[in-house]
Amino acid sequence: MAGAGVKLLNKRIRSVRNTQQITKAMKMVAASKLQRSQGRMLAARPYSRKLTELMQQLAGQADIGHPLFEVRHVQNRLFVVITSDKGLCGSYNTNLLKLAHKAVDASIAGGTPTAVYAVGRKGADYFRKRGYTMYHAHTDFAGDMSADRGRMVGDRCVEAFTGGSFDEVRVIFAQFQSTMTQRPVDLPLLPIAPEAAAPGAAAQKEKDYIWEPSQAELFGVLLPLYLRNRVFMTLSEAFTSEHAARMTSMSAATENAGEMIGALTLQRNRERQAAITSELLDIVGGANGL
Amino acid sequence: MARNFKVVIVTPDRTAYEGEAVSATIPGQAGYLGVWANHAPLVAAVSPGLVTLRTDDAGSEQKFAVGGGFVEISGNVVNLMTDTCEMAGEIDLGRAQKALERARERLSHVEAAMDRERARLAQSRALARLKAARKN
């Protein structure tokens, strides 16, 4: 009898509806996290801008060698790969890891021993499982940024570079372009690229500054701060991207579930109607036979 | 003539203060800097310490405990970039007191230069916090 089909369909509709409720909740959580993360990113910009400006002014005036600028022959390369800890964020990690995998393989193929510094469980698992050299991994950030975490990652990068274990540090993360688009990029972190320090527009409004202490000394203090800040901004941006990706994909999942419920409901109603019709036909046929 | 100038204090996670002041005292690495309107352009390293802003001629003051960083002064704008900045009201006295004791304790027996430096910084941060909180 057709009643069994209707029962089955009802069960499926209920199950899809449950899933939809979960994805909807996750979307809402991601949205609020995105907002917070984005707010934090914006709040951090004035400091970052000021610091960069100051550094450009200094770099423009003083031709000072600093260990963080030192370009060495690259014998060992380190990739900082920033992914999320958890899934359910669409193709966010897939895209990142695809780029990272390619970059790391290209580096190894070029004859340079390469290690991975994973921020985020997804990246850590991915590279560990495939037997790549891991420099270090963080799996407990949970997409939440703080100054301490920025400092921790930044200091570790500086240590790796100045300690001589790595001659180049690059960072792979998802740039936040909009809530809908996050673009994975592969950028150099250390040595600090000369163009990052090149006198930009900021240095043009040249002023006769009094420097206290000397420019060279100031530079020495400023550079580590600058780098730490860059790492901080990079991480904030990556985490903002993660929340955006999660929100978008959960929103899509909720929509899909809605469509599925619609289609299933239609099918159920049709089947129910067919069952009623055939029963009616039975009755009518029976009545006619009398 | 402008007697006021603008003060902006930014930390890595927020803009901690933005407002006008008549004069400011900033803990430079080589000693406290007194800043009045129309100060010459200056870039200086800042040590952990107490920042005092006089906000009007009547002598109202605002105190902040700041971490290390930089100050840039140009065109009647004082830009202070620092790791941390707390207004007098935001400071947890008990915590600062404990931090101070811890730092002193470490300074009394730790030998490594690196650790001593760190402890010294922690000590001056804690002292700045206590000063900022008490003088209100």
pLDDT tens per residue, range A148-160: 788 888 888 888 8
Q: Can you give the pTM of this predicted structure?
A: 0.79
pLDDT attached to residue A35: 92
The ipTM (two decimal places) reads 0.77
DSSP chain B: ----EEEEEEETTEEEEEEEESEEEEEETTEEEEEETTPPPEEEEE-SEEEEEE-STT--EEEEEE-SEEEEEETTEEEEEES-EEEGGG--HHHHHHHHHHHHHHHHH---HHHHHHHHHHHHHHHHHHHHHHT-
The predicted structure's pLDDT at residue B1: 45
Q: How far apart are CA A100 and CA A261, in angstroms?
A: 38
Strands (E), A101-205: 114-119, 133-138, 168-176, 182-190
Fold of B5-88: ATP Synthase; domain 1 (2.60.15)
Residue that the structure tokens 């700045």 belong to: B128
Chain B contacts in chain A segment 229-258 (CB below 8 A) = 229, 232
Would you tell me which residues 46-65 of chain A have a C-beta closer than 8 angstroms to some C-beta of chain B? 46-48, 50-51, 54, 57-58
Predicted pLDDT of residue A270:
93
The vertex-B113 CA angle with B110 and B115, nearest 5°, equals 55
The reply to whether CATH 3.30.70 applies to domain B91-134 is no
Per the structure block, which two tokens stand in for A191?
């040595």
pLDDT digits (tens, 9 = 90+) for B89-121: 777 778 888 888 888 888 887 777 777 777 878
Domain residue limits, chain B: 5-88, 91-134
Task: Give the nearest partner residue to A147 out of B12, B40, B41, using CB atoms.
Answer: B12
CATH of domain A31-248: 3.40.1380.10
A242 or B75, which is more confident:
A242
Instruction: Find chain A residues with C-beta within 8 A of B41's C-beta.
Output: 207-210
State which residue of chain B sits closest to A207, comparing Cα positions. Answer: B41
In this prediction, the residues of chain A whose per-residue pLDDT falls under 50 are 1, 201-204
pLDDT in tens, B63-72: 888 888 889 8
